[in-house]
Amino acid sequence: MTSAPLALETLTDGGQRPEDVGARLADWIAQTQRTLDLALYSVHVPGPVGDRVMAAVRDASARGVAVRALLHRPDLPPSPLHATAMPRVRVDVLRRAGVHIELTEQRRDLMHHKFAVRDDAAVWTGSTNWTLDDFGAEENVIVQLESPAIADAYSAVFSELWATQQIDGTGAYDTRVAGVGDAQVRPWFCPGRGRALSHRIADRITTARTRVRVASPIITAGPILSALSAASAGHVDLSGIVDISQTVRVLQQWAAGQPTWKGPVLEQLLRSHGFAGKASSEDFGRPGSVRDTMHAKVVVVDDAAFVGSFNLSRSGENNAENTLEIDHAPTADRLATWIDELCARYPPAAAGLAGGVQA
């Protein structure tokens, strides 16, 4: 990554060394002068990679930086409809590095953020947990921003979570667009603006002129699914990728429970419009297993992109999540190209559906 005001990194399964990702994170942490606030779902980086990251945290604390971490409680499992695994968190390792820690107490929803705020001026965010698997075995995105205005918004949400250890009500305010280099950037936070975020993404999809690209483990948020279905009937260039293993599990849960319009609409979308599906490991979520999900959460619409921790899901609207809406043609182009490369790398989603869900 560069020192540009807005820097983007895309990760693929086996496409980069975890050591290099960890080194960039450690270098980013090493620049901290006063405060470092971390809101993280999973933190599990054993071995030399983690040693380097934790050394940067420990050094920051030793020179007087106030380091705080707000973490999802590691003993609170997500429900099946969250389509995610238990967090991996070594609280003891963080405490030994001088980190002051609070754990969320809410049991229903997830503290699913993956962001850091440095000196109230810089933000590290995206879909990437701080784990070896996220660094090397999953599709993910990392975004770095140098922007006091954006950092202020993230700091405000962190302060809410830190003060209450509760997810409900956090981020319940409208944020402003800020100029970050040549880009116009607006942060969104769930659950406070979760439903509004789904509608914002849906509105941009509905008004797309040329292209829509999607990368999300699952797609279950009603407004977004409806907008994608409508776009698929028009002349917009539409394609994307899901984690087909997680998607099949959600479709099976729907089929076994209360009938919903979403199942047939999602299947039709995936079968008919160039979507790919990455099959993640069958032992998904088992302690000690490799997590190799298609983990990115990206929507590209024309020259804009949404990037963050927010799965395009109904449960995601209620979790503690963050997403950046970035109006910037080079960023949108880069992410669209990356998604196209993933679609070429992985099989059609229709093949995965045929093996797991009957038409």
Task: Give pLDDT, residue 208.
Answer: 97
Q: Give yes or no for residue 359 having a pLDDT over 50.
A: no
* Helix H or strand E encompassing 199: helix 194-206
Using the 8-state DSSP alphabet, how is residue 34 labeled?
S
Q: Give yes or no for residue 357 having a pLDDT over 60.
A: no
pLDDT tens per residue across span 201-222: 999 999 999 999 999 999 999 9
pLDDT tens per residue across span 138-187: 999 999 999 999 999 999 999 999 999 999 999 999 999 999 999 999 99
Q: Give yes or no for residue 285 having a pLDDT over 80.
A: no
Distance CA 210, CA 190 (A): 29
Q: Give yes or no for residue 58 having a pLDDT over 90.
A: yes
Q: Give yes or no for residue 281 having a pLDDT over 90.
A: no
Q: 286 pLDDT band (50/70/90 cuts)?
A: low
Distance CA 121, CA 299 (A): 26
The dihedral through the CA atoms of 233, 341, 23, 42 has a sign that is positive
Task: Give pLDDT, residue 354.
Answer: 84
Which residues, at least 6 apart from 92, have a Cβ–Cβ distance to it below 8 Å? none
Task: Give pLDDT, residue 81.
Answer: 53
Q: Give yes or no for residue 259 having a pLDDT over 90.
A: no
Which residues, at least 6 apart from 320, have a Cβ–Cβ distance to it below 8 Å? 39, 104, 109, 110, 111, 112, 113, 157, 161, 167, 170, 171, 189, 190, 191
Considering only CA atoms, give the Rg of the chain: 19
Task: Give pLDDT, residue 1.
Answer: 47
* Residue 192 vs residue 233, higher pLDDT: 192
Using the 8-state DSSP alphabet, how is residue 271 labeled?
H
Q: 317 pLDDT band (50/70/90 cuts)?
A: very high
Amino acid identity for residue 116 in this structure: A
Task: Give pLDDT, residue 154.
Answer: 98
pLDDT tens per residue across span 85-123: 667 788 889 999 999 999 997 767 899 999 999 999 999
Indicate the pTM of the whole model.
Answer: 0.94
